[in-house]
Homo-oligomer: A and B are copies of this chain.
């Protein structure tokens, strides 16, 4: 059975387990996850025993050529056809996922009598398995390797944007299809902005360099951040860097199946707070990574999720001194029963 057909089976098992009759899905991310067919405007109905896809006419032939394990049609009214099928099969408890729906579409489902139900596909997506893990590893390996290639080329006078372009090319040359988000290249004080928009600023002598980047490889995202000092580091930079590095190490060491994600956050945060920089760590510690650059689980002070073997998360503490510099160190890691595997090895 191919990986997508197996995912549909897994979803059907979840339906049974949760006493649901069917679920409707309409976002490319979910329908692509279940079919391997990555196009917008494909609607799916998955019951405990069947799976149907409804789409615009212009996609039908292509879909049929590529997906032989889902019943496909291109009705004039897609929403009407979904409803009809639900009635025909007497699927009483049909649900939609509030977290994947737009306001308009979600309310359309509600009008049709479908109920909200959270976490079906996101829990399937959070735990990676089989060939998916290999693909994610490759995505992270490309990103990790790129750092060693780009670093020696970042010289005084180069702009952030020129580094952005070259880094992108380096990853594509290794097989990446694109960037997993808008890469953040921050020189000097720009490194202190966690979501800095890469600019035409040139690198001066003796400045911090922060690179937060990742690629997409066969639809899977990688995420990594490295910070270093270009030139002779100041005492303050050395001190802050050492704190963030130790914090990140503590976070990675805390990762293990069965651990709450907020305990991974604490491991990072406590270290930074104890060192007196708590107020400068102004974001959560991490997030799941996979088909989306940000997906389940969340890793912050409030998150209640428990790590499972096969989840992939980032661990990325940082300290940001506005107007001066920032340091963030981030790896993507794969949760295992005994700890974790660092995927973004440099």
Least CB distance from A39 to B in Å reads 5
Distance of A129 Cα from B139 Cα, bound (Å): 41
Does residue A242 face the partner (Cβ distance < 8 Å to B)?
no
Distance of A247 Cα from B106 Cα, bound (Å): 38
Does residue A62 face the partner (Cβ distance < 8 Å to B)?
yes
Question: A106 contacts which chain B residues (CB < 8 A)?
Answer: 103, 106-107
Least CB distance from A111 to B in Å reads 13
The reply to whether B62 and A196 form a contact with Cβ atoms under 8 Å apart is yes
Question: A99 contacts which chain B residues (CB < 8 A)?
Answer: 103-104
Question: A320 contacts which chain B residues (CB < 8 A)?
Answer: 58
The reply to whether B61 and A193 form a contact with Cβ atoms under 8 Å apart is yes
Tell me the residues in window 271-297 of chain A with beta carbons closer than 8 Å to chain B beta carbons: 282-283
How many identical chains are in the complex?
Answer: 2
Partner of A57, one of B38, B56, B196, B282: B282
* Closest chain B residue to A318, Cβ basis: B58
Give the total of A residues in contact with B, Cβ under 8 Å: 29
* Closest chain B residue to A110, Cβ basis: B103
The reply to whether B283 and A195 form a contact with Cβ atoms under 8 Å apart is no
Least CB distance from A324 to B in Å reads 12
* Closest chain B residue to A172, Cβ basis: B165
Question: A238 contacts which chain B residues (CB < 8 A)?
Answer: none
Distance of A105 Cα from B195 Cα, bound (Å): 22
Partner of A98, one of B57, B98, B104: B104
Distance of A46 Cα from B217 Cα, bound (Å): 40
Does residue A205 face the partner (Cβ distance < 8 Å to B)?
no
Distance of A46 Cα from B192 Cα, bound (Å): 29
* Closest chain B residue to A192, Cβ basis: B61
Does residue A214 face the partner (Cβ distance < 8 Å to B)?
no
A188-222, CB under 8 A of B: which get 1 and which 0?
00001111110000000000000000000000000
> Chain A residues in contact with chain B, CB under 8 A?
38-39, 56-59, 61-62, 98-99, 101-107, 165, 172, 192-197, 282-283, 320, 322
